[in-house]
Structure 1
Amino acid sequence: MDTTTLKLLFANYENLRKQEHLTRQQLESYQAQEFKHLREYAYANSPFYREFHKGLFDAPLQDLPVLTKSMLMENFDDLVTDRAIHLQDVKEFAASKQGDELYLNRYVVHATSGSTGNPGLFLMDSDEWITALASSFRGFEEAGVKMNPNQPVKMVQITSTNPTHMSSGGATSMGNMGIPIRQLTASETIPTMVEKLNAWQPELLLGYASIIRILAEEQLAGRLRIAPCTIISGSEVLTPETRRQAVQAWGNVLFNMYGTTDCGAIGAECQQHHGMHLQEDLAIIEVVDKNNRPVPEGEYGEKLLVTVLWKRAQPLIRYELDDSLRLSPSLCSCGRPFRLIEEIQGRVHEILSFPSATGGNVKVHPIVFHNIMDTLPVNGWQVVQEADGLHLFLGGLHGTFDEDGLLTAVKQALIKQGAAIPNIEVQKVPSIPQAASGKTPLVKSNLSHS
């Protein structure tokens, strides 16, 4: 057991908890101070940022240029702040990584899966990794899990076990510190997963929304027999039907968390269940339209711009994430000073484009399909756009199903959006295929122009 790192983790966690008692004014002052320190460090140590922000060193945040993942990867060696770091070396390290070994004996390296066709490599030094883990612990605490080194919570995580994936790295690090956690891969067969869960009897279950939905079905059928105090969903859109089934199976113990490999933990749901608190002492979040202009609270943005206040090895200032969400116009009754994410619709690359009935093209957001598909008697579903039309995959179908009714509902929804009706095909499958990361995207396009 790595007791020294464990002590550092819990000390960091307690410091983050103290930030929850700031006033909104104190929080904004803290953000301004930390942003100033971040810029000073980036300008002193990153050749990229000295050039990228040239002439803007004293400009307000909203006047700074936007950093995309493509730009980050194209300028990797100049963007990082340690001149010993080189992209080719990091790629080779990530390709051969087996466990929790550190690049240059100092840096944790994680990779995005490249589901948008643009994979990325992200690193943190050891201290930054502790901050990332502590922010996850705070998310657990918001969900009612009391993190105590003397009374460890028995956990299970069902995501990817690839060592380059951030979720797997977090579970491995916690296990090395003596925290009782089991990792299961999301690609395991359901009977095997059920058997292991029944044997382990976790108090805290973490997993993809698609896995939680399947496990709720298993619990209701009597094959899975666990009684977790808390279930946390992440990495996929948590739909209302998945939440309803989880509540039916285990009670009101399901909480949503939102984070990315690029930026770490961003939001977490508290016990009021009014949305997810932005971790605004760790990042400045801007919800913007396609032209990077802020959208009013209560309206969906096209994307996010995230400035991570604690990252120094690979600074991220106004870094673009293609997630569409809306913020609540009011704060939570729990008293935390952080703004609330009311809802996440999905990612921009999940928006499907169809010929318009009146000419040109029309974009259809994934929420249109969620509202229809999420009511079906299935263990999982997926909408895939191909050159020959729209394919509706239904996994683990059970109960009464009206295929004609489904086709009519989808066609009517597309007509309402102004789209010309494509060929639509329903396909019944044993299960929905997973991506390499183990995630199951609900809506995606395989058209080359998307």
Structure 2
Amino acid sequence: MSRTQEILHAPHEQIEEIQLEGIKKTVIACYENVPFYKRSFDEAGFDPYALSSLEDLRRAPFVTKQDLRDNYPYKMFATPLSKVKEIHMSSGTTGVATVGGYTEHDLETWGECFARGIIYANGSEKDIVHVCYGYGLFTGGLGAHYGGLWMDSTVIPMSAGNTERQIRVLKEMGSTIICCTPSYAMHIADTAIEMGLDPARDFHLRAGIHGAEPFSDNFRRDLERKLNYHVLDVYGLTETMGPGVAIECWEQQGLHLAEDHFYAEIIDPNTGEVLPDGEWGELVLTSVDREASPVVRYRTRDITRIIPGTCPCGRTHRRIDRIHGRTDDMLIIRGVNVFPSQIEDVMKTFPQVSSWYQIEIDTDQRSLDLVTLKAEVNPDFDFDSVAAIERLQQEISARLKTALSVGVRVRLVEPKTIARSEGKAKRIVDLRRGIK
């Protein structure tokens, strides 16, 4: 704990020295042990033995998710399989899964990185950490679990599902920190209210560490109101480790990167050019000290920026902004690039609608894209008034047309009519590709 607290407040020059020394070892280990990296480095003319500054890393080629898939299952491992103590995988729902291996050192690092979120939540060994991310090959459950153990906190490994039991445990066992997707936290809160409980009073939560899907500031405020706790965003992905790569502190002014374990760049997704702090682009990550599955300049496809300046909390690790979208989740509607977050930004200006929505994309008889936004109204909205519904639908549609430069039909629906999930919320239904 003392080493972690020390590194979180270290001068950034010291952090950069740690990054450089770690990356020097990482690129050599990749070159000598992973045929893919040897081939790609040679083709790009990148000499891993000559790296002498963090800027030199820019000469290294990028790595993509497809590269990891092409080398499934173990060809990207930089250590013998006998040293790998745990394996996790992405879902593989859109293709071959990506595989991550963990040595004992990697597992210790993972636990310590997620534990920083508990530290940011002003947590300690006295906390009871309620984990309802899914356990198994998905990194969410065990990442939070290892973080709780690293902190010497009490961990309740609930996993996902069985919501009424989750609620009973939250009420009766004194859980103080909950770890799950934000949409599942909202589902727990709404279900508890339907059961006649007041989760703000009947639960004992101080903080929630929520990730694996984007959520708006409006959604955060709703969660904090219903559960009477503080919401911290957590970022991670299977390809680099899992949850804990970056986590918000209590200030909620960006996610602190675990910079002693990951080196971040922001690039223009079209040109690959590295962008200065403050500019939005695609996040690229390089492992500093991972042993089994290091990555060098991995293109995450996540859109964010490095926030300039120092956080009011005083910690010195750079911060990334909350994820704005993904380059591969970007919707192209009649030739216009649209991110779901842009639709959320418009929705949150209307207090009559809730945080639950779904975007349906189809084509009309002329094969032109047709976008429909289904949004739930809040319980106090007069859904029996047809005129009020039509007026609000027209207002939202007009504001979306101004913001997006593309027409969006709006269909308001009653509360609790959009399907809830025990994991990630399904926000987009693209019928053009037959995705249901």
> Is 2:217 aligned against 1:248?
no
What is residue 222 of structure 1 aligned with on the other side?
A: 197
Q: State the shift of 1:277 in Å.
A: 1.0
Give yes or no for contact 1:217–1:379 (8 Å, CA) kept in 2: no
How has the CA–CA distance of structure 1 residues 409 and 213 changed in structure 2, closer, same or farther, with 3 Å as cutoff? farther
- Contact 2:129/2:148 (CA < 8 Å) preserved in 1? no
* Residues in 2 aligned to 1:413 and 1:296: alpha-carbon distance in whole angstroms: 32
Does the 8 Å contact 1:381/1:395 carry over to 2? yes
Identity %: 21
Matched, 1:70 2:75: no
AA aligned to 2:110 is A
Instruction: Identify which range, 38-47 or 314-323, moves more after superposition.
Output: 38-47
Match for 1:43 among 20, 31, 42? 31
Contact 1:283-1:307 within 8 A present in 2 as well: yes
Pick aligned residue for 1:138 from 116, 125, 135: 116
Q: Indicate the residue corresponding to 1:80 in structure 2.
A: 77
What is the aligned partner in structure 2 of residue 319 from structure 1?
A: 298
Shift of 1:343: 2.9
Normalising by structure 1, we get a TM-score of 0.80
Contact 1:304 1:320 in 2 (8 A): yes
1:4-403 maps to which residues of 2 (within 5 A)?
13-54=1-42, 55-57=45-47, 58=50, 60-76=56-72, 77-82=74-79, 85=81, 106-114=84-92, 117=95, 119-146=97-124, 148=125, 151=126, 153-161=127-135, 163-170=136-143, 180-189=154-163, 191-217=164-190, 222-224=197-199, 225-251=202-228, 253-264=230-241, 265-290=244-269, 291-301=271-281, 303-355=282-334, 361-374=335-348, 375-378=351-354, 380-387=356-363, 389-394=370-375, 398-400=379-381, 402-403=388-389
Partners in 2 of 1:173 and 1:368 — Cα distance?
35
Contact 1:212 1:242 in 2 (8 A): no
Q: TM-score, length-normalised on structure 2?
A: 0.83
How large is the Cα RMSD of the aligned pairs?
3.0
CA deviations on 1:83-116 (whole Å, 9 max, x unpaired) are 5x5xxxxxxxxxxxxxxxxxx5843111112465
In the TM superposition, residue 433 of structure 1 has moved relative to its aligned partner by: 3.9
Cα contact 2:375–2:410 (8 A) shared by 1? no
SS in 1 for 2:13: helix
Cα gap change, 1:387/1:53 in structure 2, threshold over 3 Å: closer, same or farther? same
Deviations 1:239-275 (A, max 9, x none): 1122212332344522221112222322111122222
Query: 1:297 aligns to what SS in structure 2?
Result: coil
Q: Is the 8 A contact 2:19 2:263 kept in 1?
A: yes
Residues 305 and 320 of structure 1 are in contact (CA less than 8 Å); yes or no, is this contact kept in structure 2? yes
Distance in 2 of aligned mates of 1:416 and 1:370: 14
In structure 2, what residue type is equivalent to 1:159? Y
Is the 8 Å Cα contact of residues 110 and 147 (structure 2) preserved in structure 1? no
Question: Which secondary structure does the structure 2 equivalent of 1:73 belong to?
Answer: helix
CA contact (8 A) 2:353 2:376 kept: no
1:143 and 1:270 in contact (8 A); partners too = yes
Distance across 1 between alignment mates of 2:329 and 2:414: 22
Q: Who is 2:367 aligned against? A: none
Structure 2: gaps (5+ residues):
365-369
Over 3 Å counting, the alpha-carbon distance change for 1:431 and 1:343 in structure 2 is same
- C-alpha distance 67-332 of structure 1, shift in aligned 2 (>3 A): same
Contact kept? 1:383, 1:444, Cα under 8 Å: yes
Distance 1:69 1:158 in 2: 27
Q: Distance in 1 between matches of 2:204 and 2:431?
A: 39
